[in-house]
Amino acid sequence: MPQTLDGLRILELGQLVAAPSAGRIFADFGADVIKVEPLDGDPLRQWGNQAPSGSSWWWMTQARNKRLIAVNLKTSVGQEIIRKLAGQVDVILENLRPGTLDAWHLGYDQISEINPHIIYASISGFGQTGPYRDRPGFGNIAEAMGGIRYITGFPDRPPVRTGMSLGDELAALQAVIGVLLALYRREREPARRGEHIDVALTESVLSITEALIPEYLNASIVQERTGNQLLRAAPSNTYPTLDGGWIAVGANSSKTFHLLMQAMDREDLAQDERFKNNAGRVAHAAILDRIIAEWTGQYAMEELMDILIPIGVPAGPVMTAKDIVDDVQVKARALIEYVLGNGSEEVGMLGVLPKLSKYPGQIRWAGGSIGQDTDKVLQEFVEASSRDLAAWREMGIIR
């Protein structure tokens, strides 16, 4: 089946989360993504629970659909191999500390001399310029300095993380957007000039903070933690159920608020002056949440869903991984897929998103072993002979 990005060649020089997540998205939609690992492998292979093959389950998703080669970039021969590869690809994705690839003569300025059409996406903690440029930066630092940690959690408790590598994943999406924008322009320009895309993890987090910065700039308002309560509309929170679960309810428009009050047999509250408009409901959200929680606590989850969904009140259970995998909507949308890993090992993972109607993405294989495609890729792109490969392997340049 033809895919959207058939013919697009990408060289992935990143490790761990951000650049590899961007590479995975491109690979899912048909791009030929060549991932370069150090000789001992991407550290993500050791993050989280391990599959029988010896790499993490997360790795098998992150490296799916990619060709895997292992090259020692700290050697002059390894650097020359990458330069030859870079001359024949459309895109480079990297998330090493700024200056690292420049020192190896593999930075944007150096590669663009070899390949003026190259689109080169650099992902770093703070960007390629500014006083923080050379600082190391992981997702948790970006989430802290990008504002989201400060506003996440309850007001009487310390800031908390979201439980995911949010900063890295947001940066990956910014990189994908940047590359697609650059590709769109390049293919419509006679000179087909390349582009350097500068993505900062911190700025990627800032990009989703909604009113956080405008409210401070224009009204000196510093947003604080409000727990599960939606800051600018109410009621919207998670509430306990009789069977020990939690249900999310979003009755934060006047219409849905009235519908919720009808379901609760509390139409008197819909007429209460305190709750007649959104501003009043936000100001008295704690009172509303307490009343709603007392009501939801009288019913099991299934009963609440049967009450709220038919009348049009947005509601849903707070779901575990097991709940999600077992959910009928997830099954109907075919969001879970099983593919072959190394050997006959079957690996389950989240499927390809977003869904396209005519040229959908697909998972062709799970992430595999270190250097499994090194020989074939170097023979194809670098015209390496069997003797070259054997010598480089003996010298610790490739694996």
The residue from 42, 90, 168, 388 that is catalytic is 168
For the chain, the three-class secondary structure string (H helix, E strand, C coil) is CCCCCCCCEEEECCCCCHHHHHHHHHHHCCCEEEEEECCCCCHHHHCCCECCCCCEHHHHHHCCCEEEEEECCCCHHHHHHHHHHHCCCCEEEECCCCCHHHHCCCCHHHHHHHCCCCEEEEEECCCCCCCCCCCCCCHHHHHHHCCCCCCCCCCCCCCCCCCCCHHHHHHHHHHHHHHHHHHHHHCCCCCCCCEEEEEEHHHHHHCCCCCHHHHHHHHCCCCCCCCCCCCCCCCEEEEECCCCCEEEEECCCHHHHHHHHHHCCCHHHHCCHHHCCHHHHHHCHHHHHHHHHHHHCCCCHHHHHHHHHHHCCCEEECCCHHHHHHCHHHHHCCCEEEEECCCCCEEEEECCCCCCCCCCCCCCCCCCCCCCCHHHHHHHHCCCCHHHHHHHHHCCCEC
388 is annotated as an active-site residue: no
Question: Known catalytic residues?
Answer: 168
